[in-house]
Amino acid sequence: MAYEAKSAVYALNSFTWKLLEKNLGWTTYQGVTPIIPTSQQPELMQSGKPFIVYGSAFQPPGHLYALNTESIAYTVYGTSVTEVNKIAQLLWDVFKQQDDAAAMVNNWLSKEVATRGSHRGVYFGTVRATMIDKAEPADEEGGFVSALIMLETRYTADTPDIITAF
């Protein structure tokens, strides 16, 4: 069996996509879910539709090494301040709920198993919005505006099969 890392950002992106799809009517663009790493940003700027660029970083483990902490940044891009602020506010309103937000994400991940075929192996204890920087007038290429939402997640993950006896 091959080693597989468990990361909160991919599990959270799945929930965030469903949240945007159900609340704001988001759809895929040419088969691409518009929650992307930085490398795909130029491609989605051509669409003229809102999208999110994500990034994440692990924080060092504490005394309880099984409890992972990962910081996640969502930068929302769109063509109007109103549109971007609406998206950012939705994310803020959901993720400021901390333990309740984690329960919502865990509930979605349990339901996702039916279409995905397996669980992501990540179980959230808290998802906490730590900062929001709402949109300002366009300063991006192509007239896009952006807002930033910072999250902190704490979660456990299924123990990966790591071969250490050689």
- In the prediction, which pLDDT does 72 show? 96
Average pLDDT over residues 82-89: 95
**Is the pLDDT score of 1 beyond 50?**
no
pLDDT digits (tens, 9 = 90+) for 28-71: 888 889 998 877 666 777 777 899 999 999 888 888 888 999 99
* Residue 47 pLDDT: 78
CA distances from 110 to 68, 100, 105, 124, 157 (A): 20, 15, 9, 12, 14
**CATH of range 8-154; options 3.40.50, 3.10.20, 3.30.2000, 1.10.3470:** 3.30.2000
As given in the structure block, the two tokens for residue 157 are 């993950």
d(C-alpha 108, C-alpha 35), whole Å = 17
Question: Taking the domains of the chain in order of start, what are their residue ranges?
Answer: 8-154
> Residue 48 and residue 143: Cα distance in Å, rounded?
10
Secondary structure (3-state) at 90: helix
What is the arithmetic mean of pLDDT over 69-75? 95
Sheet of 51-58, strands arranged across:
35-36, 51-58, 68-78, 145-157, 122-133
Q: Is 88 exposed, middle or buried (0-12, 13-18, 19+ CB in 10 A)?
A: buried
pLDDT exceeds 90 at position 116: no
> Which pTM was predicted?
0.89
